[in-house]
Structure formats: C-alpha cells, structure tokens
Amino acid sequence: MQIFKTKNEIQAFVKQQKAENRRIALVPTMGALHSGHLSLLDKAKENNTLTICSIFVNPTQFNDPKDLEKYPRPLENDIRLLEKAECDVLFLPDVQEMYPDKDEKWHIDLGSLDQIWEGANRPGHFQGVTQVVYKLFTIIEPDVACFGQKDFQQVMVVQRLIDSKQLPVTLIICPIIRDEKGLALSSRNVRLSETGKTKALVLSRALTLIKEGFQEQSFAALLSQAKALIAGEGDVELEYLAICETTTLMETERIEPNQNYVALIVAWIDGVRLIDNMLLNNN
C-alpha cells in the first residue's frame, strides 16, 4: 500500500492512474477503522481497479472541541488493517495540508438536511462534512465514493453535494455492519463499558420492532412501542427516534405510494452518543 500525505503527491499519482484508464474508488474515513470501514473497501473493489482510503479527522465537522479531542486515532493499527485488506493507497493529510487558509469560508445550501436531526443537534456539522468531502473529491477525482449507511443523513448530505456541484462521482451506499448481537459497529463503541455495549443492543431491537410492524401498524403506535422498549432497558437516554422519508429525512406519519422510509435513532449510553438506523421498505 502506498501512502501519500500531500495533495500534490496524490494528484500526480492519480493523474498517472487515470492516464492508464484505471477506475478509482474513494473510501473517506476519519480512522479508528473497524469491520464496517473494511466492508466499504470490499465494496469499492468490486468494479474498480484502484482503491484509495483517506484518513483525516476533520476539525470543521466537530461542533464540540472535546469530542474532537477524544476522537480515537490508532493510526498504526489502521495502517495494518488497510494493508491486510489490500487497500491500494492511503491518503493521510494533516490539518495544514487540508486547510492552509485558517479563515477559509464554506457554505452550501443543503435545504432542510442541515436543520433537522443531526443538523439540529450538531449545528455546522454537515457544512464541515461537505467542506472536507468536496476537498477530497476535488483532490482525488474518484469515479465512485463509498459511504456507510450507518450515518444515513450524512449520505443524503453528500448526495446533495454531488448534485449541487454536478460532480462526476457515483455515490455507493454500503450496508450497516453489525456485530453478532446486532450492535452497529462504530469507532465510538470502544468508549462503551461491557454493560454499555449490552444496553446498546436495545437500539437495534427498537429499529427491528419498527421494521417488522411497518406495514401493519401506525407509525405512532410503532414509535410508542419502540420508546417503551428503550425506556425499559434503563440507563439509555433517547435523543430522538423517528420514521422519515429517505431523501429529505422529513418525519412522516403514514406510508405514501412510491416513497421509501428509514427509522433513525440516536441515544446516549455511558456518556457516548450512539447513532443507528434501519431502512424499512427498500432493502
């Protein structure tokens, strides 16, 4: 695996690869890699001849400096995992490389996507996400980019970026990877106690309850049952739980023809903010 730390280096490399008609797949990450990230690499390899993974803990998408400070950075282990997964290239820039202008301004119209759910709870987060993703797309010029379904709202935001800027990038949404008990894999899981990991299983149970009753019961009844299930677990602080249309993520109360839906959930366990979701009728 080749490792590049500067824009100039990786751009020169990519230019050479494109001259040889190689298709390029990008997997953007913030490191602390786990099986979920590696599944994105597997997907990236399916129809592409060159896989590039980026690791960059992007400061502009953190609205809490303490969260940025606590974000895990096990770089040596990440590199070992990528090598074992046979990733072709790692792009490993520092903050100065990505943000040479400390006063750089960025704003993109995301409609309501940066005002609801994660947008409402983490002001500025999605502006930061689109800022760094646009930089990565501009630097690497991938043919496809693989993102995980677990951050579903982020995926919709990235698609909005691609559409808005008319970028020649195909977005591939990769399924959530769960452990054998159903917990969605996340870099934040390392901060959970063993008891916390057990309690966190209630999130996937609540989502499964909604999915299984989606065609038979009212949305209000399903949400009430799921919230009761979570409350019964104890020591789980629910931030939000909603059933939404997949593209706009606007909350809805009933099934409409030709619409797809997703259940979104965020909860706090052991002081750790956990996020999960489940597609309800299009998978």
How far does the chain reach from its first CA to its final CA, in angstroms? 34
Tell me the sheet residues that pair with 184: 178
Residue type, 131: Q
Residue 141: phi and psi, rounded to 5, are 50, 55
The residues, any chain, with a CB within 8 Å of residue 165's CB and separated by 6 or more, are: 108, 134
Cα distance between residue 152 and residue 86, in whole Å = 27
37 is catalytic: yes
> Other CB atoms closer than 10 Å to residue 98's CB: what's the count?
19
Cα distance between residue 171 and residue 233, in whole Å = 37
Q: Which residue bears the tokens 């010029």?
A: 141
The candidate with the shortest Cα–Cα distance to 38, out of 152, 162, 187, 192, is 187
The residues, any chain, with a CB within 8 Å of residue 181's CB and separated by 6 or more, are: 201
Cα distance between residue 123 and residue 144, in whole Å = 28
Cα distance between residue 205 and residue 239, in whole Å = 16
Residue type, 245: E
Cα distance between residue 213 and residue 137, in whole Å = 40
Length of the chain as a residue count? 283
Candidate list 34, 37, 107, 125, residue with the active-site label: 37
Q: Which residues are catalytic?
A: 37
